[in-house]
Chain A
């Protein structure tokens, strides 16, 4: 018979109430948003009266999670960047040359002269004078390999050394090391992009890794994608390189293992530098704006201990020779080493003004991107367009909602009203769930909700139609209602599971707005099945118990 146990009723109503309470903050969007911002600001120490007032706008015992608005609704910039991981191979190979050279030097008796050959960027070709010493040379270079620490690359070394011809050694990164290096590069880029964007302090940026080497960056409220690129695109790659020569000829041939770098302040002046840096900006643990002995703005920095030692040794060995401070492929300054610098700290002087030295310090602190980013996709959506879309979406949803409510009432009378109550709860539940999981609402997502409004009644329609049919066989209203629910169930489940499958595939394969659509569609299916088979049923049963009608009309 038509019975639902008390505890089930309590559970059903509790689930609905919980969903609705979770959805409630979205009804007061601006207010709750200000409340949340104020709460965050106070936590960070900005405990002003103004913030307290904003905080008081929404009771703190109420849930305060909101549905995030997607870029297409809020306006902002979207970038899809690809990390050029291969660039790291080149700098790795460059950096390993001094080490290999130093290892081979003591073996000169057997291997002869050691010369770096012009080589493609991701390998190192070294020619030795004595082909007979090849075996020994290979052995020595292989001795420099370090095991790679990854789960998959167990037992693999970071470099592969082979002979090409009888007097050339070719050093490349091993496959395992390349994978490990790619992983590190992307992680590091991700972290640096995040820090730079945080430094600007915008609300809720999305910075996500996508696939093996891509980073998705979405920043709401920012003026344009170009602006965003300026924030993350400034590389600030700092290196310290030994100076070979100075020249004013921009076409001068730097020679193998060297490179020609222009001066930052003096146009027409070029430096020939060794490509392999002594230390790089990655070694920096701190950088602060400061002033030099003459009172001009400068940036002081400090290295970590490892680099401090390398730098110390280098300065001790090269007193009297110049070395260059290179920033973004321009020589900032090329002082002559006056004395051994043991402590690992130093100062960069140049023709800075105070602002420049402050910016430079910030950039150095945030770290350099290990590799360049190329942008595969960029979108800017103006806030007005987003607001227009929200307004249009609101109107459309309201009208769609009203039309369906009226239509259901006209078609099914009292039962239509039950379905309508369930539909209202349904929409509440969707918003509650969206807030709970912190999902992002996009314009197609709004379309998904409108579609759900249309389709959510389907389960109820199936049941009501079935009850109508069962009533024809005249088994009495209670039995007809029960059979209606029972027999419609398999159709409801099959139909919704298949739709749910497509929503899941859409979520897995889609991105951005499309994914937002998949989320609302999928959640809508869950909540509409719940409301149809539990909430309307409970309403019908409660009505039936009170009235005990002899006949019903559906």
Chain B
């Protein structure tokens, strides 16, 4: 017997409460944005400069000891967090120390790093420095700009592609869903104060890609059904399309989540934030392709005489033979 996550021939009405769904999304976006505006993101050193030191010791991490050891150096804001991971050995105690960029210094400061290592080695004799990373303020400023540009470019490129392949209403719907996903992801990072570094930008772009993937599959079916059911009202056509693709949407989300969750649990603490962003993005992206992209499409309306001018748009690949 087959495992079926979604029954065949579902007939959910996704639009009976479309105002509510859009409302929920709007509220969540406002919350996310407000959180971002009020407490801001917990930027990693990639984006604000500074130094992180990852230490390892057989002795349990006592944050106060670390802090006292470095207090004499007067380095300004220092954050010390203990890192946990199920795969660490019993006597493997890992801490991350983050030191802010020192004032008036463009480049990184080897002296600071050396001083920190010396001070810690006195307080915790068997300490090891497994990684030390420093980013100067000059680069971190540029990295922020490049990252923001990358996200905007990706969304823009996608807007154009979907506009070319479908109609502008589809493009707007898809992009609204993407913006929704990006804002919610940034919101969750700011709300939970998870470290936001370069890798998270990669995750954001992947979320953009994934969410789009989902949206495009639904839209592709909408386009097909618009030709098939010429007389049905748009909301029915949309509903049919979403129901027809629902099984696939769920299947793909589940396989992707299966893979990501195993990476989240077993992949080590270094990329956990990155994987968390992607898991969140898959969930939000799946939701948004149904409840945001399609709803916006319904709201904007779409022209119905698909057959005449663009008769071959949907079929132009159909002649490829393997």
A interface residues, Cβ below 8 angstroms from B: 4, 8, 72, 80, 82, 224-226, 229, 374-382, 384-385, 388-389, 391-393, 395-397, 399-401, 403-404, 407-408, 410-413, 443-444, 446-447, 450-451, 453-455, 457-458, 461-462, 465, 468-469, 485-487, 489-491, 493-499, 501-503, 505-506, 509-514, 517-518, 521, 533-534, 537-538, 553
Contact = CB atoms under 8 A, between A and B. Distances in A.
A458 B252 contact: yes
A385 B74 CA distance: 29
B318 interface: yes
A377 B110 contact: no
Interface string B119-149: 0000000001111111110110000001101
Given A229-B110, A498-B213, A509-B153, A447 B274 contact: yes
Nearest to B165: A494
Interface in B258-278: 258-260, 262-263, 265-268, 270-271, 274-275, 278
A447 B129 contact: no
B281 to A, nearest CB: 11
Contacts, number: 256
Contacts of A396: 262-263, 265-268
Specify which of B150, B252, B322 lies most central, judged by the most chain A CB atoms within 10 Å of its CB.
B322
A374 B161 CA distance: 42
B231 interface: no
A376 B263 contact: no
A545 to B, nearest CB: 14
A451 B245 CA distance: 21
Q: How many B residues touch the partner, as a band?
A: 35 or more
B179 to A, nearest CB: 14
Nearest to B150: A509
A506 B150 contact: yes
Contacts of A457: 251-252, 255
Contacts of B266: 392, 395-396, 399
Nearest to A502: B209
Interface in B237-269: 244-245, 247-248, 251-252, 254-260, 262-263, 265-268
A487 B220 CA distance: 10
Nearest to A409: B3
Given A451-B256, A454-B257, A505 B129 contact: no
B255 A517 contact: no
Given A72-B270, A393-B268, 11 more contacts: A378-B108, A393-B267, A400-B259, A403-B258, A404-B255, A412-B2, A457-B255, A468-B247, A497-B161, A506-B202, A509-B150
Given A4-B322, A388-B268, A443-B271, A376 B259 contact: no
A379 B153 contact: no
Which 6 A-B pairs have CB atoms at the shortest separation, nearest pair first?
A454-B259, A454-B256, A392-B268, A400-B259, A509-B150, A499-B209
